Amino acid sequence: MYNHEHVAGINDELPDRIRRAQDGAADVGIDALLLSPGPDLRYLTGYQALPLERLTCLVMRAGADPVLVVPNLEKPAAMASPAGASGLEIVGWDETDDPYALVAGLIPDARAVALDNMMWAEKVLRLRDALPGPHQRLANEVISPLRMRKSPAEIEALRQAGAAIDRVHAQVPEWLRAGRTEREVGADIAEAIRTEGHETVDFVIVGSGPNGASPHHELSDRVIRPGDPVVVDIGGTTPAGYCSDCTRTYVVGEPSADFLASYEVLQRAQAAAVEHVRPGVTCESVDAAARDVIADGGFGDLFIHRTGHGIGLQTHEDPYIVEGNDTVLEPGMAFSIEPGIYHADRHGARIEDIVVCTDDDVEALNLRSHDLVVIPEK
Ligand code: ZN
Ligand code: ZN
């Protein structure tokens, strides 16, 4: 099950992350980073703050220690988090204080500030009013390059998340059968996502028959029928905060010949993209490696989404494996490889693994077979 040593390993990295974020901001002329509750704040401080109407804001200034501004109501939680344990300065504000003025007072000379990409619009605008001078930019310009390159402790956390979701997929054939609804199967899967080592269930897609042709279909009351292909795409977040995301395609009973034909192409496409991953190649070339195989197989028009997305503290983050993204892969980058072929109104298929670019190759974090899982009718 979950290895808590890795949470500690990740917490040990927090001071270095803060230092690198400060350096990164200085490099691009940003005087202060202003981060609200969300993955960037968690990445830098370990504090999983509640997203509330009251302002919580990490103020990171050039050449000074960071300050975490929190409502006094939230101060005990902040103190109890790794942020408090690390000795980060935490400043509380009372119900009748103006926290925006408090933040502005910490950065009187700033000319450019970078705001959390996920900050609520009302907070963005109130900071604009409190800090009318500084140019507002986006913090992911600085944080995303850090988060994209995972440390060994982060890779280990993703490896554990991958193993946990693999254990869930191993049980899917027990639950998937003709006569049950997608929702019933999804409930069994959701329970297993938790019991196998996740803290939260982030999504459960059970796309049976024609529903499998809609890549982000979740669950419905459709009754699974004999011969249905079923796309099962599932993921959760572990206690360390790292996400899993894995898709396998199943068939209940006998698959049709045309389904088998497109699945065979899909399997080769997924393998070709994984094979292509190594340091120095671009994200878009990984996408092309999968897409070329599917196009050659005659299904190019039916592969209707990008090949993958980065993963870490969020299920979807940089780098995106898509045409037009010339980001060059480096060791430590983790992302999905998930081509799909979608026959509208009939069926769909997708194979998804999380992989990591290593020093000279690639490591898959989902290890179950890519073969179509044929579940005999009971
Ligand atoms: Zn997925
Ligand atoms: Zn995915």
Mind listing the pLDDT tens digit for each residue in 328-348?
A: 999 999 999 999 999 999 999
Q: How far is CA 163 from the centre of its chain?
A: 16
Give the span between the Cα atoms of 105 and 60, in whole angstroms: 13
Q: What is the pTM of this model?
A: 0.95
CA angle (165, 311, 195) in 5-degree steps: 25
Nearest to 333 by CA among 163, 145, 198: 145
Q: Give 316 Cα–ligand 1 centroid separation in angstroms.
A: 10
Q: Give 141 Cα–ligand 2 centroid separation in angstroms.
A: 23
Q: What is the pLDDT of residue 7?
A: 63
Give the span between the Cα atoms of 78 and 210, in whole angstroms: 47
Q: What is the pLDDT of residue 308?
A: 98
The bound ligand whose nearest atom lies closest to the alpha carbon of 334 is 2
End-to-end CA distance of the chain: 32
Give the span between the Cα atoms of 178 and 132, in whole angstroms: 62
The bound ligand whose nearest atom lies closest to the alpha carbon of 218 is 1
Pairing of strands 135-138, 112-115: parallel
Q: What is the pLDDT of residue 327?
A: 98
Residues of the chain under the 50 pLDDT cut: 1-4
Q: Give 281 Cα–ligand 1 centroid separation in angstroms.
A: 23
Q: Give 245 Cα–ligand 1 centroid separation in angstroms.
A: 5
Q: Give 124 Cα–ligand 2 centroid separation in angstroms.
A: 30
The bound ligand whose nearest atom lies closest to the alpha carbon of 307 is 2
| 71 token code pair | 């409502």
Contact present, 242 and 46 (Cβ < 8 Å): no
SS3 168: helix
Q: Give 247 Cα–ligand 1 centroid separation in angstroms.
A: 6
